[in-house]
């Protein structure tokens, strides 16, 4: 066992680093590592069954992570695009994949062809989030649309994992689905009850201790425990049980800690999953069916993103957003592996060579996807220069607000405003600067940065800056009349987020009492930073430092609330 783990993980590490250096997804390195680990070069042959057992844990934890990050609000925010777009795109990909397999896949019937199409209609969550993150697009409208699209695909995959046993059970479909629905309903109620009554209390108790590893162990126990409960008690898949337990944790106050601290082993097991997939891949076997592989690549890499682009444009979204979202979907990955493996090896509804072709297509499309995405902004720029999908200026160099990018208004372009603006622009947020210094305004205008010369308290200036569609207004100068600016901004856009900087804690309290929702005090931030540095130098853990920062921030917030009540 140790021999297999050492070889698999070492190759995954080396090739993952190499893939990252080549600006490819590390998943490509992990899959190739599996291919190399399966070769008879290592003296003692690597036991693929051991790696597969560990990889099954990786799949369970992967689905737990999906449930942990699954939020209905993310889907509701982009439902008008993500829901119809994902459904139509998956249907298109399934039909095209089925036609390809029926034509080039040998003598298999239409049922196998449809199963083949279903395996290639979903994109990789790991690859998509990695591509969006590398291009700093996760927090943009493009990222939100793509993630909402993924939520729909994830729901579809979960339903497939649930319905596949019913479909192949040989029983009458109606009663079988009814029985499965009752069992799944009971499973959901059981997980919800145990999650709220048992898991919540245990995690609360464990989180109060100073032992971070106990919290990690607790989350792992619940993830694997609910997976086993789903399989043994309700005849459901382990993956579905893990997904449900992740949803329960994700809706609790432990979600962020579980995502950042409690699953350090998830990535290692997930790596083993991709290594095990690579170990089962037969390159020569794929070459025997090269026509099927090539046509499948065309469906996953060309037809699917083209369909997505057309759908998003028909729904009235900007050109750049449509291109970026569609390009992020031009691949298949882990869910295709999971479905293909189950359908081929466990349910025997696909020939083994079909699952092997899907693995090869995934390796190819993941590799091409990372390279393709680097050219998408250039393509959008060229199209916009020709007048296709370009936004028109309103005043000076202030563009019309669009759905493609979140607009942030920054008041003041001193050192704080400049740093803030630079960081926000890196993450594809549209920054409009309001500045009173005419020399600074001229310098920014020459650099092509959207800037207005005027008083941010004036409604007319704020309207030209696009305050109606802006997500936030950030007051970066301590000398600026933050209260008056916030009042003017909210009179036009009541839902806008107002952030302000001030030097003294007493001024921060005053601004909070006057309605500024987020105020950063220089005194407070310096004190907390110095205290954190001192604690770390004395050996405190990051968890202890974070707890002290949180407690002091909460204390200051409570003092502000008390002061406001007394003032009233």
**Average pLDDT of span 525-540:** 85
- Pick the most confident of 96-110, 121-135, 372-386: 96-110
Can you tell me the distance from the alpha carbon of 69 to that of 259, in angstroms, rounded to the nearest whole number? 8
Give 566's pLDDT tier (boundaries 50, 70, 90). Answer: very low
Q: Is the pLDDT of residue 565 over 50?
A: no
Can you tell me the distance from the alpha carbon of 298 to that of 96, in angstroms, rounded to the nearest whole number? 10
Angle at 565 between CA 560 and CA 568, to 5 degrees: 125
Backbone φ and ψ of 518, nearest 5°: -135, 120
Strand, coil or helix: what is 335? helix
pLDDT tens-place string over residues 23-49: 777 888 888 888 888 777 776 666 666
CATH topology of domain 48-166+184-377: Na+/H+ antiporter like fold (1.20.1530)
Strand, coil or helix: what is 432? strand
pLDDT tens-place string over residues 202-258: 888 887 765 667 877 888 888 888 888 887 887 777 777 887 888 788 777 777 777
- Pick the most confident of 168-177, 301-310, 366-375: 301-310
Q: Which residue has the higher pLDDT, 121 or 64?
A: 121
| pTM metric for this prediction | 0.71
pLDDT tens-place string over residues 253-273: 777 777 666 556 667 777 877
Task: Report CA Rg, the chain.
Answer: 27
H or E segment at 408? strand 407-411
Give 171's pLDDT tier (boundaries 50, 70, 90). Answer: low
> What DSSP line would sit under 151-199, residue for residue?
HHHHHHHHHHHHHHHHHTS-S-HHHHHHHHHHHHHHHHHHHHHHIIIII
* Residue 244 near residue 191, CB atoms below 8 Å: yes
At how many degrees (to 10) do helices 141-167 and 238-250 cross? 140
Residue (of 155, 133, 124) closest to 30 by Cα position: 124
For residue 105, count other CB atoms closer than 10 A to its CB.
23
* Residue 101 near residue 120, CB atoms below 8 Å: no
**Average pLDDT of span 554-562:** 62
* Residue 361 near residue 296, CB atoms below 8 Å: yes
Find the range with the poorest average confidence among 38-52, 188-202, 268-282: 38-52
Q: Is the pLDDT of residue 560 over 60?
A: no
Can you tell me the distance from the alpha carbon of 334 to that of 505, in angstroms, rounded to the nearest whole number? 50
pLDDT tens-place string over residues 479-527: 888 888 888 888 899 888 888 888 877 777 777 665 666 788 888 788 8
High-pLDDT (> 70) share of the chain, %: 85
Q: Which residue has the higher pLDDT, 20 or 291?
A: 291
High-pLDDT (> 90) share of the chain, %: 14
For residue 400, count other CB atoms closer than 10 A to its CB.
10
Give 1's pLDDT tier (boundaries 50, 70, 90). Answer: low
Pair type for strands 407-411 and 472-475:
parallel
Given this chain, do its domains 48-166+184-377 and 400-567 carry the same CATH topology? no
- In the chain, domain spans: 48-166+184-377, 400-567
Give 394's pLDDT tier (boundaries 50, 70, 90). Answer: very low
Give 168's pLDDT tier (boundaries 50, 70, 90). Answer: low
Q: Which residues of 452-490 are buried (b: 16+ CB within 10 A; e: fewer)?
A: bbebbbeeebbebbbbeebbbbbbbbbebebbebbebbb
Can you tell me the distance from the alpha carbon of 63 to that of 232, in angstroms, rounded to the nearest whole number? 18
Can you tell me the distance from the alpha carbon of 449 to that of 432, in angstroms, rounded to the nearest whole number? 8
Residue (of 299, 309, 355) closest to 331 by Cα position: 299
pLDDT of residue 248: 81
- Domain 400-567 classification at class level: alpha beta
Backbone φ and ψ of 84, nearest 5°: -65, -35
For residue 284, count other CB atoms closer than 10 A to its CB.
7
* Residue 501 near residue 511, CB atoms below 8 Å: no
Can you tell me the distance from the alpha carbon of 252 to that of 263, in angstroms, rounded to the nearest whole number? 16
* Residue 146 near residue 74, CB atoms below 8 Å: no
pLDDT of residue 495: 86
Q: Is the pLDDT of residue 562 over 50?
A: no
Strand, coil or helix: what is 500? strand
């Amino acid at each position: 066992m140790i021999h297999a783990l050492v070889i698999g993980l070492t190759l995954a590490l080396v090739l993952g680093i190499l893939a990252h250096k080549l600006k490819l997804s590390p998943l490509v390195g992990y899959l190739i590592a599996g291919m190399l680990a399966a070769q008879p070069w290592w003296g003692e042959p690597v036991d693929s069954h051991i790696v597969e057992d560990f990889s099954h844990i990786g799949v369970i934890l992967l689905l737990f992570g999906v449930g942990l990050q699954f939020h209905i609000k993310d889907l509701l925010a982009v439902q008008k695009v993500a829901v119809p777009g994902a459904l139509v795109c998956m249907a298109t990909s399934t039909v095209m994949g089925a036609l390809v397999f029926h034509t080039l896949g040998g003598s298999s019937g239409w049922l196998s062809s449809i199963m083949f199409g279903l395996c290639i209609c979903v994109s990789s969550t790991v690859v998509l989030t990695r591509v969006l993150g590398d291009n700093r697009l996760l927090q943009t409208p493009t990222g939100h649309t793509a993630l909402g699209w993924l939520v729909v695909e994830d729901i579809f995959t979960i339903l497939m994992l649930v319905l596949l046993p019913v479909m192949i059970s040989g029983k009458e479909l109606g009663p079988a689905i009814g029985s499965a629905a009752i069992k799944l309903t009971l499973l959901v109620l059981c997980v919800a009850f145990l999650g709220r009554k048992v898991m919540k209390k245990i995690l609360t108790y464990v989180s109060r201790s100073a032992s971070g590893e106990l919290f990690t162990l607790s989350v792992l126990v619940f993830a694997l425990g609910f997976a086993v409960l789903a399989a043994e008690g309700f005849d459901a898949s382990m993956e579905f049980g893990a997904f449900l337990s992740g949803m329960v944790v994700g809706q609790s106050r432990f979600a962020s800690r579980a995502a950042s601290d409690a699953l350090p082993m998830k990535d290692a097991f997930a790596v083993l999953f991709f290594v095990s997939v690579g170990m089962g891949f037969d390159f020569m076997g794929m070459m025997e069916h090269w026509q099927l592989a090539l046509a499948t690549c065309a469906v996953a890499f060309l037809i699917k993103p083209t369909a997505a682009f057309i759908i998003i444009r028909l729904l009235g979204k900007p050109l750049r957003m449509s291109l970026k979202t569609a390009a992020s979907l031009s691949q298949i990955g882990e869910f295709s592996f999971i479905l293909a493996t189950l359908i081929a090896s466990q349910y025997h509804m696909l020939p083994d060579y079909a699952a092997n072709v899907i693995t090869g297509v995934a390796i190819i499309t993941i590799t091409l996807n990372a390279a393709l995405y680097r050219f998408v902004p250039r393509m959008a720029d060229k199209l916009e220069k020709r007048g296709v999908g370009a936004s028109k200026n309103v005043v000076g160099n202030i563009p019309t607000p669009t759905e493609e990018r979140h607009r942030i208004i920054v008041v003041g372009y001193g050192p704080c405003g400049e740093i803030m603006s630079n960081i926000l622009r890196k993450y594809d947020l549209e920054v409009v600067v309001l500045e009173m210094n005419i020399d600074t305004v001229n310098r920014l205008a020459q650099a092509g940065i959207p800037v207005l010369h005027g008083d941010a308290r004036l409604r007319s200036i704020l309207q030209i800056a696009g305050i109606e569609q802006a997500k936030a207004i950030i007051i970066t100068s301590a000398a600026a009349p933050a209260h008056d600016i916030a009042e003017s901004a909210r009179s036009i856009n009541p839902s806008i987020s107002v952030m302000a900087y001030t030097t003294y804690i007493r001024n921060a309290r005053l601004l909070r009492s006057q309605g500024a929702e987020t105020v950063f005090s220089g005194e407070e931030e310096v004190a907390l930073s110095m205290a954190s540095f001192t604690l770390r130098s004395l050996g405190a853990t990051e968890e202890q430092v974070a707890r002290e920062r949180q407690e002091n921030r909460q204390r200051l917030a409570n003092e502000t609330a008390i002061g406001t009540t007394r003032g009233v």
